[in-house]
Chain A
């Protein structure tokens, strides 16, 4: 797979192009230039590490949306076995922007649910760019209830620009569908572990992200509104998205500091899209820890702890009323 380079990765792109060129030359060259290639590769890796160490929130948002970033089905393939996808909300349709089903995690039954984006144009349209309609959330809810019935833990992967803002979605109760998930997930009697793997876009993300543990990949984002959306409302111009990204606090590091997420999962050097397998290994390790953390709690204690956590969100001060 040829790496797609983002704007700020241009220096890496140039170096990589040069390496590619040398490799080509090497094939029919009498001189051994493998050492030179090796040297350039090391330089490229160092450069990548360097650039990624200093990403701005807006650049991180670009990485979170990288076209080669691993999606839910990639993680499912690498982390789980025996995946049996389950379809449909039993009321209207099967929404392809959310996938879910039973699988084994280290041999044990789990329910996996996640937003799914498409890689090429055709697939993007099929997946509606990862923007679910009400039937997607209702499918997710159905699978969660199913998991609860059989005492199976729920693992969710969050990766959506947001719930689909369309006429049909509104007609079928987008608000109710999201609200219902929040309502039920608060009291679901099995563990729920949520991982933001790419874009955590607003209510459409939260609708499958209420749980006992919230984790984020290093270059994932999670926000109340997209930086573009925020900029176009507050600055009346989507061009100020970089500033909006900065001030809103959408990165894993910032959200960890603010106490809004539990754990950051480090990505391979240069981002998850450079090494799906390594990214999946890191996620697997984190999921193991998270599940172990909640495994010992009996359902009443689990739910009580979850309520405590949910009801504790927010920053305010108390003083005598004016």
Chain B
């Protein structure tokens, strides 16, 4: 079976289920920012950015990869890595059941999709978090797929890009999840030792254990407009300090102001921006 055949059927299946859940065909959707009523497929065509006010809605991992990568020569990395339940974890529901439900709902096996491909003919490896899968939480599979992606980038001397959309570490895998912070960041340390660029794109939301590991280790750190980005969640902070949080706290614009990120980039310009940055970083002469 060629890589194309391997890739194609589940992809079709996935885009169907994805469409059913997030943007039902022919349904109207209200933008939470400007309250404009939008036609679902219009929103989708606009990369889930509100055409009226520019509000960035969350976007599925594969939809993002579709928009980001050139159509030719893509293939997935780490799809063979599947989750297990190492602690036999159970709260109101078993973790194993939660995993099954999330797989059913999203068509994904876990919360990270990694692909090799190209952005405007520049070859690279891109990792994208799937927020719909258990809140994009990072457990062993996310960590392993991430590392396989980085390893692949190192082997082929390619840049690595990651789009984060996550609540943080996955509680149901306990300390294994915490260790994924050390694991993913160590992979980026290795990438860096090979002088290969890492561009980190923080999207809504990027919190907790992912925010506090590799996400800010990008050679360039980008955020999408309005994205919530931070270590501790706003509710936890409010409970700790017992005061009201300032307006726009932990939003991308706030982080830019505080010097935490390099720039804010509109999703519709992301491809161009990434290509521009990568050619500069890798000293590719201007076309």
Contact = CB atoms under 8 A, between A and B. Distances in A.
Interface of A: 163-167, 169-176, 178-180, 182-184, 186-187, 202-203, 206-207, 210, 222-225, 229-230, 233-235, 243-244, 247-250, 255, 258, 260, 306-307, 310-322
Contact of B171 (A173, A184, A234, A312): A234
Most buried by A among B180, B185, B260: B185
A82 to B, nearest CB: 31
Contact of A175 (B86, B230, B245, B259): B230
B230 to A, nearest CB: 5
A312 B184 CA distance: 11
A186 B139 CA distance: 19
- Binding site of B, secondary structure by majority: helix, strand, loop or mixed? helix
A170 B212 CA distance: 11
A99 to B, nearest CB: 21
7 contacts: A167-B249, A171-B258, A187-B189, A206-B182, A310-B179, A314-B141, A317-B81
B237 A255 contact: no
Contacts, number: 206
Contact of A202 (B76, B173, B178): B178
B34 interface: no
Contact of A178 (B171, B186, B213, B250): B213
B231 A169 contact: yes
Contacts of A255: 175
Most buried by B among A176, A180, A224, A258: A224
Given A163-B212, A317-B82, 5 more contacts: A179-B211, A260-B176, A315-B140, A316-B82, A321-B10
A322 B1 CA distance: 13
Interface string B239-276: 01101011001100000001110000000000000000
Interface stretch (B17-25, B88-96, B118-126): B88-96
Given A180-B217, A186-B189, A313-B143, A174 B232 contact: yes
Contacts of B71: none
Given A182-B213, A248-B87, A314-B179, A167 B237 contact: yes
B174 A170 contact: no
Nearest to B221: A176
Interface in B77-118: 79-84, 86-87, 89-92, 109
Interface residues of B, number: 70
A318 B80 contact: yes
Interface string B169-204: 111011111111111011111101100000000000
Contact of B240 (A166, A186, A260): A166
A174 B174 contact: no
A319 B241 contact: no
A222 B175 contact: yes
Contacts of A244: 91
B217 A165 contact: no
Most buried by B among A170, A244, A250: A170
A128 to B, nearest CB: 11
A249 B171 contact: no
Contact of A224 (B6, B171, B240): B171
* Pairs of residues from A and B, 4 with the lowest C-beta to C-beta distance, nearest first: A165-B232, A314-B140, A321-B79, A313-B179
A193 to B, nearest CB: 15
Nearest to B250: A170
B91 A235 contact: yes
Nearest to A315: B86
A230 B174 CA distance: 10
A98 to B, nearest CB: 16
A69 B236 CA distance: 27
Contact of B245 (A167, A315, A316, A318): A167
A322 B215 CA distance: 29
Contact of B92 (A172, A235, A320): A235
Nearest to B190: A307
Given A223-B174, A250-B174, A319-B80, A186 B179 contact: no
